[in-house]
Amino acid sequence: MRGYGSRWPGVLRIVTLALWCCAPLGDTANARAQGTQAGAGAIFPPVVEGRALAFPADTGAHPDFRTEWWYATGWLADDEGGERGFQVTFFRVRTGIGEDNPSRFAPRQLILAHAALADPAEGRLLHAERSARALEPLAGAGTGRTDARIDDWTLKLETGGADGTDRYRTRVRADAFAFDLELAAHSAPILNGRAGYSQKAPDPVNASYYYSRPQLAVTGEIELRGTRRAVRGHAWLDHEWSSELMPAGAQGWDWIGINLHDGGALMAFRMRDAAGQALWAGGTLGVETGEARILTPEEVRFQPARHWRSARTGAEYPIAWQLEIAGRQFELRALMDDQELDSRGSTGAVYWEGAVRLFEHGREVGQGYLEMTGYADRLRM
């Protein structure tokens, strides 16, 4: 299998798109609630509280907004009991460039994708990425229903089945790995923040529309170094769109999305400043019934417990955490230490994104993903 990532030389850095997950766009210092201007005539709509999210229409793309992503993570188990983490993310970016250009190649919208597989036997993360300008039918993100793709990488909401479940399908093919997974949601999306309006910083302009689909049942196949395996597991899907996300002074963020064994779900994040102090925090604690408790900044506390230093980049990541969520004490441990994603060769960003287990009173209560950005360098967009 020939993938793209390994072929990308360093020069692509310019292209940029160091957009990851939750990567906010732009210079927020001058952000205005009425929208921001970038490029000729492009007005990015602001994220405002009180807009009701409608499904399944809002699972599709929102091309007017500056940035948007669909972010699926999860744990997979094969028949021999091997456990692995997977991650696939599709980003959509409105560049504000060429909006008046009749060319089909005008780079009005860009689509980027990252995928990774965490296998303890590998000792480090396998990852790959793709990017393209939106150009039907090769690459794009459809509106009305989740349908993001770049060539043969896809993430699609394939419809609700007769049983009322939503089924997502994602396919990824890279040099070292590939997967083809179905993610079935048996419950309605959880709206994060205030009915889907998720504030990211003290200034309400730094906000996104944000919903999560925890406890997705996964079935499918992975291919690792040429070996195919049937897998089952559980996953988490985030969908978030925004025009202004990252506040000035922010260095990076820490984020978790955990499927709890009791059927509940925990999402928590905090925005850090250069000194490592929380600028803002938030989260959602859902229970099996579908009810969710929105966590205030004061209810979320991240406390590093153990550090690991990357020999590749020299960055030091807290890979074990003490979490205090709404008064409960949790412990977070990584599936393996080295889940650093070094994409200096392409998008230029270095971050840690990996499978983790959640413990409460020494007992494993959930599995999910931890993302930590801004440890190697300030995350920039």
Where along the sequence are the contacts to other proteins (CB under 8 A)? 1-2, 4, 7-9, 11-12, 14-18, 95, 97-98, 101-107, 110, 131-133, 135, 137-138, 151, 380-381
Beta carbon nearer to other proteins, 5 or 196: 5
CB of 375 to other proteins, least distance (A): 20
Give the C-alpha separation, 3 to 39, whole Å.
33
CB of 130 to other proteins, least distance (A): 8
Beta carbon nearer to other proteins, 205 or 381: 381
CB of 247 to other proteins, least distance (A): 18
CB of 108 to other proteins, least distance (A): 9
Beta carbon nearer to other proteins, 42 or 295: 42
Beta carbon nearer to other proteins, 136 or 298: 136
Grouping H, G, I as helix, E, B as strand and the rest as coil, residue 114 is strand
DSSP state of 53: P
Give the C-alpha separation, 22 to 242, whole Å.
10
Decide if 83 contacts 75 (C-beta within 8 A): yes
3-state secondary structure 323-362: EEECCEEEEEEECCCCCEEECCCCCCCEEEEEEEEEEECC
Q: How far is CA 24 from CA 36, 120, 212, 232, 292, in A?
A: 14, 31, 18, 33, 25
CB of 147 to other proteins, least distance (A): 16
Give the C-alpha separation, 359 to 228, whole Å.
31
Beta carbon nearer to other proteins, 97 or 294: 97
Beta carbon nearer to other proteins, 2 or 361: 2
